[in-house]
Amino acid sequence: MSVIKLRIDYLVFGGLGFAFLLSIMTADFQDPTVFNQLYPSAGIQNWIGLIGAITGGSLLEIFGPSSLLLPWLFVRIFMHQPRSVSVLGGTYYTFVLVFLLSIFYELALQLTLLEPVNSGFLWQNGYAGKLAVEWLGQSMALALSSTALGVMLIISVVRMSRLLSPLPLFSALLTGIQNILMLLVNKISPPPAPEYLPAADLANFKVHSRFEENSSG
């Protein structure tokens, strides 16, 4: 236990983030969500159950595939050290970033920069991006609105750069692997015990040292 430092908060938030990711990735259009109150006769397809269907499916319907970024940022908001972004500020910028990505994804689909994926609920864009693009097209020029959204996206990415970076995850994995390997090596071939002089030899050594000091004086 001294080699591997077990952090309960890492396990809790890591487990919640993984469950959050599964709830989004296994969302099904027939499962109940905020926008779909019907319960499927074949049962819920989401791996996390009813809570996962409502949470993951609803976020997928709102933001589309950009909601896959939410579990990672959720874990990083609560676990990143040193804390450069508050929990409230990180949550705000997270949803701004996901919303902007949903808008750009919808723009890419409408401008045929990306091929629409007809199969799979995961890759259908959300209502937020579709409504935002429709409103922007009716209220202002598309080029002007795209420029403004691009500036907002850059600001959000810069503000959340420490949370978006996967380097802390890789560093933690490497540290964990190193600690496990050290533990296995110590179990297989433990280090030799330190050699201690017997008490009698220590007493003789002290007497000999005193004798040398008196003779030199």
Q: Is the dihedral of CA 174, 175, 180, 186 positive or negative?
A: positive
Q: Tell me the pLDDT band of 154, cut-offs 50, 70 and 90.
A: very high
Where do the structural domains in the chain lie, given as residue ranges? 8-168
| pTM for the full predicted model | 0.75
Query: Which two three-digit tokens encode residue 155?
Result: 């600001």
Residue closest to 3 by CA, chosen among 168, 173, 180: 180
Least confident span in 76-90, 135-149, 169-183, 199-213:
199-213
The pLDDT tens digits of the residues spanning 108-138 come to 988 888 876 665 788 889 999 999 999 988 8
Contact 101, 128 (CB under 8 A): no
Q: Tell me the pLDDT band of 20, cut-offs 50, 70 and 90.
A: very high
Pairwise CA distance, residues 216 & 36, whole Å: 97
More confident residue, 117 or 157: 157
Answer whether residue 202 shows pLDDT above 50. Answer: no
Contact 64, 124 (CB under 8 A): yes
Residue closest to 147 by CA, chosen among 104, 98, 110: 104
Give residue 13's pLDDT.
83
